């Protein structure tokens, strides 16, 4: 079973495991509440009996000798055990989710490394693709006058080239090392100061210092409608309006 399949199997089983733990927590909580109500009633009844006994003189009014019955004390101990079991279950559920989060972080890190390695393999196989960035950036300014700034940019060309290069070089991976360093001259974008990848959106402020942003970094899931401004430019526009 591959890492992807193992991770998917584990994450698919997580909801059912958590559901069972939450169901048990609910049952324990219901049982605890019943025990607490019964114990409160028992203790109130015993207190009333003590008060009546003291008034009638049948019980010596000595606080050190007054105590609840063994049944009441056993109920309280039982309630504490159930409460401890609830805490243990909650900790187990938390640890379980935390473990899956750590696994997800490791999986995403590996996925990112594989993606970057595929991009480096592409550069090694077909040469540096300067025209992709230049054409996209140049096309943005060229399209401004005709129909506004281009809103999105897909890295499908890079992905397709990566797939082709991976297939072409699969037979030579045992004899050739393709793990090349990242080009330090490759331009970076967005608040994350990373290279171009995936879908990106351009800020409609012509004076924006960054210009291009990754969807995930600015909370976008689809192409924005109308004009779109990054958070920095939005703040700048508001300050100007306030003046």
Q: Is 230 annotated as ligand-binding? A: yes
Check the annotation: does 190 bind a ligand: yes
Neighbours of 194 (CB within 10 A): 12
Sign of torsion over alpha carbons 210, 216, 218, 220? positive
203 is in an annotated binding site: yes
Q: How far is CA 199 from CA 15, 182, 205, in A?
A: 31, 20, 19
End-to-end CA distance of the chain: 62
Q: What does residue 154 show for φ and ψ, rounded to 5 degrees?
A: -100, 145
Was 214 annotated as part of a binding site? yes
Contact status, residue 131 vs residue 83, Cβ threshold 8 Å = no
Is 208 known as a binding-site position? yes
Binding-site residue set: 190, 192, 203, 208, 214, 217, 230, 233
Known binding positions for Zn(2+): 190, 192, 203, 208, 214, 217, 230, 233
């Amino acid at each position: 079973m591959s890492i992807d399949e193992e991770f998917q199997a584990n994450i698919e089983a997580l909801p059912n495991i958590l559901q069972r733990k939450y169901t048990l927590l609910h049952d324990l909580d219901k049982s605890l509440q019943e025990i607490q109500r019964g114990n409160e009633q028992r203790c109130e009844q015993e207190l009333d009996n003590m008060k009546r006994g003291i008034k009638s003189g049948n019980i010596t009014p000595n606080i050190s000798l007054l105590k609840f019955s063994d049944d009441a004390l056993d109920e309280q101990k039982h309630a504490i055990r159930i409460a401890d079991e609830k805490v243990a279950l909650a900790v187990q559920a938390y640890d379980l989710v935390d473990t899956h989060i750590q696994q997800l972080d490791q999986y995403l890190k590996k996925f990112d490394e594989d993606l970057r390695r595929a991009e480096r393999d592409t550069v090694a196989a077909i040469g540096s693709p300067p025209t992709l960035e230049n054409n996209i950036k140049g096309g943005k300014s060229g399209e401004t006058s005709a129909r506004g700034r281009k809103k999105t940019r897909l890295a499908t060309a890079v992905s397709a080239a990566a797939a082709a290069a991976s297939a072409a070089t699969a037979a030579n991976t045992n004899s050739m090392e393709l793990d090349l360093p990242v080009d330090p001259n490759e331009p970076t974008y967005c608040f994350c100061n990373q290279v171009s990848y995936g879908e990106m959106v351009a800020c409609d402020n012509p004076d924006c210092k960054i210009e291009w942003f990754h969807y995930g970094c600015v909370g976008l899931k689809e192409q924005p409608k109308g004009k779109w401004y990054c958070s920095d430019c939005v703040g700048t526009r508001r300050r100007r309006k306030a003046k």
